[in-house]
Structure 1
Amino acid sequence: MHGVTHRRQAWYPVLDQLAEQREVILVDLPGHGQSAPLVTEGRPVQQVLREQFKQFLTDQQLDRPHVAGNSLGGLVALYAGAEGDARSVTALSPAGFWRNGHEFRYTKQIFQRAATMSERLGDRVELLARTRGGRKLMYGLLCAHPARVTPDQAVGDIRAFRYARPALRTLLDAAEPFDMEIPLDVPVTIAWAARDLVLPPWQAEAARQAFPFGEHITMRGVGHVPMTDAPEFVAKILLRGSEPAASVAPITAAPSTAPAVRRTARAATA
């Protein structure tokens, strides 16, 4: 599962390597990508996300799959682990580990400013996305290597961001720290980007304290959305996180920058 305002295509750089060893289902979260708008009808957002994820599992006929996510998707994966809906959880820079509203305000302002900018620029932002300098500006906070984002990917992301703006406002207003427990028999892997400018790396320590039994990995040389920055390394983390506990070996390799080729896998909306 992808992060807030993103879409399932965020995982394309690692899809080839994952699909060789796993059945992969890429998910558009509610209010994102091709999914229906996020509608809460006055209920807590966290409850709605958990309920819709459970319904998604039912619709897809999935029984406790291995669940992985980035940012907001990582938070949803943690919810799934806490509620018994995940066989394992792998979260890349997951949301929910700020300690108070003051610390979250920094992240909130990043997204609010991005939303304001996209509204002001209108269709011109797509022209910006087609230039190397424009992509560097757009992805500078998300990736360590924004030049690796293709023009088509950037245009698609911009359109996804526009569609997700209503969900973004709802999610930002309702954001709160993650405080649920995950059973010890559910393996938890939390990997944090060392160059994360959206959810700063110090939050990784809060995650360590919350899950001292989990595996914690520092992803060096990558940004908040690490799939484009280091696809081979991210794929290795995801594959390791979904392995049976007895067969897991330590990750010692540095992130690789080798490109990945897309393979066919299942895609779904929530």
Structure 2
Amino acid sequence: MARRALFTRRYRPSGSRRTGHGEPLLLIHPFMLSHHSWRPVAERLPQYDVLAVSMPGHYGGPGVSLTARFDDLVDHLEAEMDRHGWDTAHVVGNSLGGWAALELGRRGRARSVTAIAPAGGYDSLTLRDAAMVASFLVAAAGRRPARLTNVLPLLPAVASLGLRAVAHDPRQIVPADARHVIRTALGATHPVRVLLACARSIPAPGIETIPVPVHLVFADKDVVIPPRRYAPYFTDRLPHAKVTTLQGVGHCPQVEVPGLVAEMVHDFVVASTAPVAATA
């Protein structure tokens, strides 16, 4: 029984989670994770109507075709917004989700955009980019045998190594959230197809036309999308965006320092809506 702890019946994935009341707030996860990665942040924002969605090809999300493009992932997010009756929302995303958040802003579906360590800023590919893609492919290929053997729960050191791609200090992640990170990474349905979809769409186009307030958030200890290499693509095209660099934090701050992320999201939503409220 213990060997199947990660994938028992009660952990069957859901496609989304909605909590709270107030201004609509859409949360979008990074590559190979799911809407579960936002749980510790969503629980700290009860004053918002929070919707966290799993994208196609991920744990809990629908399938994705071999010929899909990045736009197809964002189309699913728009369809979820429509299903919940949302024309627009404040949108927050991390990594792949950060790119999706910017795209929703470009499409006119966002009231504000917070993009945390956004992907898609590859105007020229380097050897480091190729190595990063190769590491993603290895992780994607290894998820099935790891899931079948449930080896990670038995090898804490291996699990900790994997978590270092997510957090600078994995010890800061609550154990239940760490298990969710592992479970959703192992349970991703079509990560290679998602990578191909993104590769067909890089670099992120048209972000300079986003008409709403944008908050670009980078993490100085990010080993997946180091800000020194990737931030300029976004800051050059969004010169009026607010820019924050989190110190001592890794690629997915929402699981490492959820309290800080919740506070940051709330402050930016308030700042973004204050001028409208003052005019009204």
Tell me the TM-score normalised to structure 1 length. 0.81
Find 1:172's aligned residue among 195, 215, 223.
195
8 A contact 2:172–2:257 mirrored in 1: no
Q: 1:50 to 1:13 in 2, by over 3 A?
A: closer
Structure 2 gap ranges (5+): 1-27, 276-280
**How many pairs are equivalent?**
243
Instruction: Choose 170-179 or 4-13, whichever is displaced more.
Output: 170-179
Aligned to 1:136: 160
Which residue type is aligned with residue 187 of structure 1? P
Deviation, structure 1 residue 100: 2.0
Which residue type is aligned with residue 270 of structure 2? E
Q: 1:120 to 1:50 in 2, by over 3 A?
A: closer
Q: Distance in 1 between matches of 2:172 and 2:145?
A: 26
Deviation, structure 1 residue 131: 5.1
Aligned to 1:190: 216
Q: 1:184 to 1:147 in 2, by over 3 A?
A: closer
Deviation, structure 1 residue 184: 5.7
Deviation, structure 1 residue 130: 5.5
1:101-140 equivalences under 5 Å are 101-102=125-126, 103-124=128-149, 126-129=150-153, 132-140=156-164
Aligned to 1:9: 36
8 A contact 1:184–1:213 mirrored in 2: no
Q: Distance in 1 between matches of 2:57 and 2:210?
A: 32
Question: SS of the counterpart of 2:132?
Answer: helix
Do residues 18 (structure 1) and 45 (structure 2) align?
A: yes
Which residue type is aligned with residue 40 of structure 2? P
Question: SS of the counterpart of 2:44?
Answer: helix
Q: 1:165 to 1:128 in 2, by over 3 A?
A: same
What is the aligned-residue identity percentage? Answer: 28
Question: SS of the counterpart of 1:121?
Answer: helix
Aligned to 1:206: 233
Deviation, structure 1 residue 122: 4.1
Q: 1:117 to 1:51 in 2, by over 3 A?
A: closer
Q: Distance in 1 between matches of 2:176 and 2:148?
A: 15
Do residues 72 (structure 1) and 96 (structure 2) align?
A: yes
8 A contact 1:95–1:199 mirrored in 2: yes
RMSD after superposition: 2.2
Aligned to 1:232: 259
Which residue type is aligned with residue 169 of structure 1? V
Tell me the TM-score normalised to structure 2 length. 0.78
Find 2:123's aligned residue among 96, 99, 107.
99
Aligned to 1:216: 243
Which residue type is aligned with residue 115 of structure 1? A
8 A contact 1:2–1:72 mirrored in 2: yes
Q: 1:130 to 1:22 in 2, by over 3 A?
A: farther
Do residues 29 (structure 1) and 55 (structure 2) align?
A: yes
Which residue type is aligned with residue 192 of structure 2? R
Question: SS of the counterpart of 2:243?
Answer: strand
